[in-house]
Amino acid sequence: MNTSIKNILQNNDFSKDDIIELLYANQSETKFLYQKAKEVKSGQIGDKVYLRGLIEFSNLCAKDCFYCGIGKSNKNVQRYSLSDREIIQAAQFAFDEHYGSIVLQSGEVKSREFENRVDRLLKQIRKITGNNFGITLSCGEQNESTYSRWFESGANRYLLRIETSNKELYNKIHPHDFLHIFEKRIESLRVIKKTGYQVGTGIMVGLPGQTISHIADDILFMKAIDIDMCGIGPYIEHKETPLFEQRNTLMPLNARFELTLKVLAIIRIMMKDINIAASTALQSIDKLGREKAIQIAANVFMPNITPQSYRKNYNLYDNKPCIAESPVECQSCTVARINLANGKVAFGEAGDAKHYLHRMNRRNEILI
């Protein structure tokens, strides 16, 4: 092993130069990076894998991100929005099957009607599941008052992916208008955290124009804002998006996959007690992609419990897996996958991030 890599891995925190060197590590060196991440995960998190039942309740979106298959300008996607009844039934399924938590995910919509609807759903779900059931929202940028309202009504986690912490790159993969403002995206994360949520974010690895230096900065950004959870996945192009034209400039899919695993390993070492999701996009490239992520660093698995007939219309990228299975089929597959990765399914546990719990304890100690 490269002496420099060996020296870097003796530490539990890395500089930007350290991260860059680890991201460039060759195959034999990477094994040591993965081993270190596994040791940190074992010591800090253990072998438990928390389930988050994913409900993709609407693909209506006001935004037009250049990488996303459900962007507003895509006229070839069939738009849908689950009924309240369908959403409540999906949440009830997760609760009855002892998932411990759900994720309510949608396209980005910002309106009083949408705010009221999500608020109503949160209150209904909380009523049937009780206070020990985790509810994550992934509904994009909202007003501070909206975040607060949803928090008070029962949501306790919020995922807002930044996709990149580099303003120049952000502007290359988004339209230049008032709906896509880099500073607003970053500020939203700070507001979400201030509101009291367990805060999560994430990036895509392998974007057109993205460099190793960008990714190193992304990792340092996530550590600096003190996130509680993250979702990191490889960039996979969608044929109905503007960025599809740049597909010939991209690194091969397998390279994007391996680089994503390196990012996950580095994050686990640097942010030891956060929750890390095994992204579905990994499985699009490697049939055992999510299992490999769990073996190395991840401790959250998100089985899709959206009614099967809608799933094909929530394609953020091409070749998305798990669109033909029923929620019951996804459940049995999930358990098998986690077992294959030597994980232990944490049935009935909300799976709050240990980092969040530690952060709240520190804050309470200061207040006392």
Quote the pLDDT of residue 312.
94
Domain containing residue 33: 12-367
Query: Which residues make up each annotated binding site for [4Fe-4S] cluster?
Result: 61, 65, 68
What phi and psi, each to the nearest 5 degrees, are found at residue 145? -65, -35
| In-domain check, residue 49 | yes
CA dihedral angle for residue 27, residue 32, residue 33, residue 36, rounded to 10 degrees? 160
The pTM assigned to this predicted structure is 0.96
- DSSP character for 79? -
Quote the pLDDT of residue 360.
87
Contact partners, residue 77, CB within 8 Å, separation at least 6? 59, 69, 70, 240, 313, 315
Quote the pLDDT of residue 327.
80
Quote the pLDDT of residue 131.
92
Quote the pLDDT of residue 365.
60
Contact partners, residue 337, CB within 8 Å, separation at least 6? 290, 291, 301
Label each residue of 85-113 as H, E or C: HHHHHHHHHHHHCCCCEEEEEECCCCCHH
Could you report the per-residue pLDDT of 321-367, keeping only the tens digit for each? 888 778 887 777 888 899 999 999 999 999 999 999 988 887 766 55
Quote the pLDDT of residue 12.
86
Quote the pLDDT of residue 364.
65
| In-domain check, residue 165 | yes
| In-domain check, residue 2 | no
Could you report the per-residue pLDDT of 158-210, keeping only the tens digit for each? 999 999 999 999 999 999 999 999 999 999 999 999 999 999 999 999 999 99
Instruction: List the one residue out of 290, 294, 329 whose CA is nearest residue 308.
Output: 329
Query: Which residues make up each annotated binding site for S-adenosyl-L-methionine?
Result: 163, 185
Quote the pLDDT of residue 366.
57
- Cβ contact 240:77 at 8 Å: yes
| In-domain check, residue 230 | yes
| In-domain check, residue 183 | yes
CATH code at position 305: 3.20.20.70
- DSSP character for 152? H
Question: In 10 A of CB 181, how many CB atoms?
Answer: 17
Low-confidence ranges of the chain (pLDDT < 70): 1-3, 364-368
Query: Which residues make up each annotated binding site?
Result: 61, 65, 68, 138, 163, 185
- Cβ contact 151:196 at 8 Å: yes
Contact partners, residue 225, CB within 8 Å, separation at least 6? 189, 190, 193, 199, 201
Alpha-helix residue ranges (DSSP H) falling in 271-307: 280-285, 289-296
| In-domain check, residue 93 | yes
- Cβ contact 126:157 at 8 Å: no
Report the domain count for the chain. 1
Place of tokens 């397998």: 254
Tell me the DSSP string of 184-249.
HHHHHHHHHHHHT-EEEE-BEES-TT--HHHHHHHHHHHHHTT-SEEEEEE----TTSGGGGGGGG
Query: Which residues make up each annotated binding site for (3R)-3-methyl-D-ornithine?
Result: 138
Q: How far is CA 356 from CA 241, 330, 366, in A?
A: 36, 29, 15
